[in-house]
Amino acid sequence: MYHDAEVATDAYNAADEKVRKQSKRVAVLTEEDHVVQLRLQRLTAQAGAAARAQYRGGGVPVEVQLMLAGAPGYALDNAAQAVQAQHDTEKLIQALDTAEKSLHTRAADVANELKSLEEIRRQRDAARRDIEERISRARSIEADLKADDKTRLAQLEQRAAADAQNAWLRSGIVKHPSAKASSAGGTAVAYALQQIGKPYVWGAQGPDSFDCSGLTSQAWAAASHPIPRTSQEQWRQLPHVGIEDIRPGDLVIYFDDASHVGMYAGNGSIVHAPRPGRTVTLAPIASMQILGVVRPDA
């Protein structure tokens, strides 16, 4: 149940990230829509002023003004001004038409983005309910365990983790067990280690609590190297490296669904935020099913 809650947490984090990006997009489009509206208002006012000026001038054609003018020079001046005014009016009408079309397009874009935003929020809320339900059920089962059962369960977990770690170390899979971190990787590891003891909270990215990918993403952000927010996107987007070449700062992705992630700290250990009820801690790298390794600064 805790594992399933973590899967749902990844879905929540992905949706929450989309909500933030979509909200910014809507804000930008709304501002652009406002700017177009103001321009349309200015153009409408200018068009109204031009229409009133033409009305006051009687709308007399250029050739008639030329014939009726007392002096040919003035007539030509009037004609030139009239032609210029006509061109200005045509440009104004074109600008007005363009602004109206742009406004309709912007309004449609805002409506579409808002519709998409609402759908993503529904996905996020569904993931939140799934997380809370699974964690509640898991805690309820734990609460029903007797003290001896809890102690025995903890011992079994530790024994299973130790056995898996020993088998992994005996395999000799790591070519360079003393490999050094890159400069950025060292900064990321230092940040992650400083968080040891802080509680796991789903959806959290610090500074007081973390979920698994919240810890790794913030650690690499501290190294001025932003990475995707979720463990699944970290696995999908970041460069893969062979586990035999692992070095501190690399991210170890766990389970077939890439639902958990920890940061390799060296000496066969990872630092990670395990699950609800636990705190950020060091753990054997092979204590869970390893899917693979990614390197943010490859």
Selected catalytic residue, list 3, 34, 225, 260: 260
Cis peptide preceding 199, ω within 30 of 0: no
Q: How far is CA 158 from CA 162, 235, 256, in A?
A: 6, 27, 22
DSSP state of 243: G
Q: How far is CA 127 from CA 6, 22, 34, 122, 232, in A?
A: 10, 18, 34, 9, 15
Instruction: With beta carbons less than 8 A apart as the criterion, state whether 248 and 188 touch.
Output: no
Residue among 42, 39, 46 at smallest CA distance from 101 = 39
E strands present in the chain: 240-241, 251-254, 260-266, 269-272, 281-284, 290-294
Does residue 3 carry a catalytic annotation? no
Does residue 272 carry a catalytic annotation? yes
Inter-axis angle of helices 212-222 and 183-194, to 10 degrees? 130
Residue with structure tokens 């040891």?
196
CA distance 293 to 298: 11
Catalytic center residues: 212, 260, 272
